């Protein structure tokens, strides 16, 4: 009986000890959790820039003063001093520049990266600033270099988006002065430096075909003819290079005067007659988009190109027309731009050099005739 009481007492004592220990450990654990939560919460508060109940440290007051100093130096144009004051902190530079687009902002980014090293964030910012300043060549060089630093899909997507904007602005500025060779060099440079940007192989081939350089267009187009996204369009453009030139003699076509220009009658797909303004300054033949709709062509999903017009450079679909003829002089398939044109009501498009360059041609203004002779 005594042994049984002793055993019961010992068991109850052990249970009380375990319970007390558990409560103690739980209290300690909760205390550490609360402590850690307070530290993390305080860190989040500081990072968010929120005020706390404690007075700011001397270093925080100094930071405000440094910000004011940096801002004053930046406004004064003392870029080396700002770079020195930043002590290598990239957030200082980013905060100072903000949405500023100026030569000083560009110089500050270049000075900081020259001293403390390049970052993809600063290079993307620099490329955007250079492009908005109109320094397209410089912006392109920066974005090509930034592409080498991209390590995440997000960074790559940002570079691709900015590259498209930079190249579009650059190409528009070149086409505004009819600098087609410079646009060709622009696209070709990107295909060499950034071969993963397949859309520029397509743009290069498209440009060369629009200028009548079919043989040279095959090189970039053949690089992407099996591409998942651009392959079908590339193959369509390659087919346009197989141009037929049936004319083996001189063809004389009547011209109708339209102010200082001339209008000629052409035939689309051997049955649809259209009136075209002869424009030796236009690289590509163009039809009003309403004409394409009347002829049953679908403009959706077609490759798009840039066109220099009286209202500036515009983007429009490029349609592969089965055959275009002036009298017995005809070629096809042939790329034709589909634009909404502001031309006289009795004119439906422009006859450009991608047709005329296939022939030795001459406009006889006295007799109002267009003379075409095969180059073969």
> What is the bridge-based pairing of β-strands 369-374 and 251-254?
antiparallel
Within 10 angstroms of residue 342's Cβ, the number of other Cβ atoms is 9
Kindly state the tokens that stand for 206. Answer: 């498209």
pLDDT of residue 246: 52
pLDDT of residue 282: 85
Within 10 angstroms of residue 249's Cβ, the number of other Cβ atoms is 9
Cis status, amide bond into 57, omega within 30 of 0: no
**Distance (Å, whole) CA 376 – CA 373:** 9
pLDDT of residue 248: 55
Full-prediction pTM beyond 0.85?
Answer: no
**Distance (Å, whole) CA 68 – CA 71:** 5
Q: What is the DSSP string of 328-358?
A: TEEE-SEEEEEE-----TT--EEE-HHHHTT
What are the 10-residue block averages of pLDDT along the chain, 376 residues in total?
40 41 37 34 30 33 63 92 93 92 96 95 96 96 95 94 95 89 96 96 87 84 93 82 57 87 93 92 90 90 81 86 90 88 84 88 90 80
Residue 78, H or E segment: none
pLDDT of residue 249: 65
Residue from 31, 55, 34, 52 nearest 43 by CA: 52
Write down the domain spans for the chain.
176-240, 251-374
- Give the CATH fold of the 251-374 domain: Cathepsin D, subunit A; domain 1 (2.40.70)
pLDDT of residue 39: 30
């Amino acid at each position: 009986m005594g042994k049984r009481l002793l055993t019961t007492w010992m068991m109850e004592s052990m249970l009380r000890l375990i319970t007390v220990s558990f409560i103690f450990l739980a209290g300690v654990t909760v205390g550490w959790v609360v402590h850690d939560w307070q530290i993390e919460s305080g860190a989040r508060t500081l990072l968010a820039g929120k005020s706390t109940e404690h007075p700011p440290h001397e270093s925080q007051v100094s930071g405000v003063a440094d910000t004011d100093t940096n801002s004053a130096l930046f406004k004064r144009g003392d870029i080396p001093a700002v770079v020195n004051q930043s002590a290598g902190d990239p957030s200082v530079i980013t905060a100072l520049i903000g949405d500023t687009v100026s030569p000083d902002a560009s110089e500050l980014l270049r000075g900081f990266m020259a001293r403390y090293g390049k970052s993809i964030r600063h290079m993307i910012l620099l490329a955007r600033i250079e492009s908005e300043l109109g320094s397209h060549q410089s912006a392109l060089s920066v974005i090509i270099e930034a592409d080498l630093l991209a390590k995440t899909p997000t960074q790559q997507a940002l570079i691709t988006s900015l590259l498209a904007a930079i190249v579009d602005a650059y190409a528009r500025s070149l086409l505004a002065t009819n600098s087609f060779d410079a646009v060709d060099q622009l696209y070709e440079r990107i295909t060499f430096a950034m071969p993963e940007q397949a859309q520029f192989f397509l743009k290069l081939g498209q440009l060369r075909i629009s200028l009548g350089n079919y043989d040279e267009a095959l090189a970039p187009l053949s690089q992407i003819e099996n591409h998942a996204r651009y392959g079908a369009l590339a193959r369509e453009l390659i087919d346009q290079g197989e141009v037929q030139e049936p004319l083996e003699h001189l063809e004389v076509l009547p011209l109708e005067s339209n102010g200082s220009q001339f209008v000629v009658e052409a035939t689309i797909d051997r049955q649809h007659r259209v009136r075209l303004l002869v424009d030796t300054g236009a690289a590509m033949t163009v039809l009003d988009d309403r004409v394409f709709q009347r002829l049953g062509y679908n403009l959706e999903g077609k490759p798009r190109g840039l066109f220099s017009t009286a209202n500036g450079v515009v983007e429009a679909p490029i349609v592969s027309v089965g055959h275009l003829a002036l009298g017995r002089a005809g070629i096809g398939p042939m790329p034709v731009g589909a634009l909404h044109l502001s031309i006289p009501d009795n004119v439906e498009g422009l006859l450009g050099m991608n047709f005329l360059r296939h022939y030795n041609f001459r406009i006889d203004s006295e007799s109002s005739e267009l003379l075409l002779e095969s180059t073969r």
